[in-house]
Amino acid sequence: MSENVGLSTPRGSGTSGYVTKNLSHLKPRRAGEPYSRDREELKHRQRQPDKELLEHNRKREIEVKVFELRDKLEEDGKDEDEIDDECDAFRKKLQAEAKKAGGPTDARGLKSHQVHELAKAKIEESEKLRKAFGIREDYEEGSHWKRQEERMRDSLAPKTDGPS
């Protein structure tokens, strides 16, 4: 043992006497203020979905359906050229349906790992609510309180009746 650290002898203590560091001690992340004072950083920003990823997932779903059709046709023993023709026609049909069905995304059918789809559905829902309540697009959250504060300041300010 070194310099009064740990037990002088492990006999009778139920331990080996081996000294380890405390792994449950959490160090503070930063020494500054716990919260940022930057107003822009505190504002809520909607998470934007990645359009390329959404497009990739849409194309992937189409290809999965085409592959299932191809597998079924191969099991039926059809000719390779006939299979290719049917798959191409089916792919074009699915792509046309996907372009027509560009409507709102239903968040109830999505899984928690489909983050971009959920973000898109949330934005669509927020936009629908904004329109339903008649909220302007340039509305800034908390602006009501700023106007109310200004009115209070104006009412408490000393009034002057003009030049004396």
Ordered by start, the domain boundaries in the chain are 46-101+112-131
How large is the average pLDDT for residues 120-133?
90
CB distance 100 to 23 below 8 Å: no
Instruction: List, in sequence order, the alpha helices (H) in the chain.
Output: 39-42, 51-76, 80-100, 115-133, 143-156
Place of tokens 């740990």: 6
pTM above 0.75, yes or no: no
Share of the chain above pLDDT 90, in %: 25
Q: How confident is the model at residue 116 (pLDDT cuts 50, 70, 90)?
A: confident
d(CA 147, CA 153): 10
How large is the average pLDDT for residues 90-103?
85
d(CA 74, CA 99): 29
pLDDT given for residue 1 in this prediction? 47
d(CA 59, CA 71): 18
